[in-house]
Amino acid sequence: MPANILLVEDEPAIQELIAANLARAGHHVVRASDAETAQRLVREALPDLVLLDWMLPGMSGIEFARRLRAEERTKTIPIIMLTARGEEQDKVSGLETGADDYITKPFSPRELVARIKAVLRRRAPQATEDPVSMGGLTLDPATHRVSAGEQPLNLGPTEFRLLHFLMTHPERVHSRAQLLDQVWGDHVFVEERTVDVHIRRLRCSLEPTGHESLIQTVRGSGYRLSVQQDAPATVR
């Protein structure tokens, strides 16, 4: 599944090379040459992952990563540091700042794409094309199909994204605001009750196979997908 990647790199040739290879791998790339521009882009829309050069003009990559991790809205964005600094202490500093991975220049495009896939699988599984199965349901992002055993289920595009996110983050309670950010996008201005409408539609789509009970309402908090039938939640 294509990911929205923010590339923060001040060397034009390196920026162009990385962007071209990521686009070839199917990702959508937004570029910035400095941390200040990157901050503005993040305010406009959250990326699925940030590729961040350590040495930048003005604010350093390390400081920008620290700021991302300090804000509630951006603290969970996966970050991969790109740097020519290969000393162990530099790597430790980058990882302690909150980076999910650290790639030393020069690196091969194939290695970069593989590292991105690994980080997304670990931190943002809804941004990958890996099939996911839970509670008798199987969802395949590559073919956009959902099935319960051998029986296919018909879901609308929003219900598909909603189910994909819940299945890749099971047993966690998500507020309506969090679901809007993750499924609709954090700069889509719609009513929080819109989530309730699509949850009802999702449950209706799961009813034929009896899987609607996987989507649980946690009063006063939001929704979760759980295979634990004794969970203290209500289904409605």
On whether residue 231 sits in a domain, the answer given is no
Query: Average pLDDT in the 10-29 region?
Result: 93
**Total domain count for the chain?**
2
Give the pLDDT confidence score for residue 152 in this predicted structure. Answer: 94
- In which residue are the tokens 């941004």 written? 127
Task: Tell me which residue range forms the domain holding 13.
Answer: 4-127
Asked if residue 88 lies in contact with residue 95, where contact means CB atoms within 8 angstroms, the answer is: no
Token output for 146: 């959902």
How far apart are the C-alpha atoms of 75 and 164, rounded to whole Å? 21
pTM of the model: 0.63
Please spell the DSSP secondary structure of 8-32, one letter per residue.
Answer: E-S-HHHHHHHHHHHHHTT-EEEEE
Q: What is the dihedral of CA 133, 136, 141, 144, to 10 degrees?
A: 170
Give the pLDDT confidence score for residue 234 in this predicted structure. Answer: 40
Q: What is the CATH number for 187?
A: 1.10.10.10
- My answer on whether 175 and 210 are in the same domain is yes
- My answer on whether 120 and 153 are in the same domain is no
Asked if residue 117 lies in contact with residue 108, where contact means CB atoms within 8 angstroms, the answer is: no
Q: How confident is the model at residue 188 (pLDDT cuts 50, 70, 90)?
A: low
List, for residues 205-215, the tens digit of each pLDDT value.
Answer: 999 999 999 99
Q: How many CB atoms within 10 Å of residue 211? A: 21
- My answer on whether 103 and 150 are in the same domain is no
- My answer on whether 18 and 105 are in the same domain is yes
List, for residues 34-86, the tens digit of each pLDDT value.
Answer: 999 999 999 888 888 999 998 899 999 999 999 999 988 888 889 999 887 66
- My answer on whether 13 and 122 are in the same domain is yes
How far apart are the C-alpha atoms of 208 and 50, rounded to whole Å? 40
- My answer on whether 139 and 220 are in the same domain is yes
| Confidence check: pLDDT of 235 > 50 | no
- In which residue are the tokens 């882009």 written? 41
DSSP 8-class letter at 212: G
Q: What is the CATH number for 58?
A: 3.40.50.2300
List, for residues 114-166, the tens digit of each pLDDT value.
Answer: 999 888 877 777 677 789 999 999 999 889 899 998 899 999 999 999 999 99
Give the pLDDT confidence score for residue 189 in this predicted structure. Answer: 67
Q: Domain boundary residue among 94, 109, 127?
A: 127
How far apart are the C-alpha atoms of 84 and 57, rounded to whole Å? 15
- My answer on whether 84 and 53 are in the same domain is yes
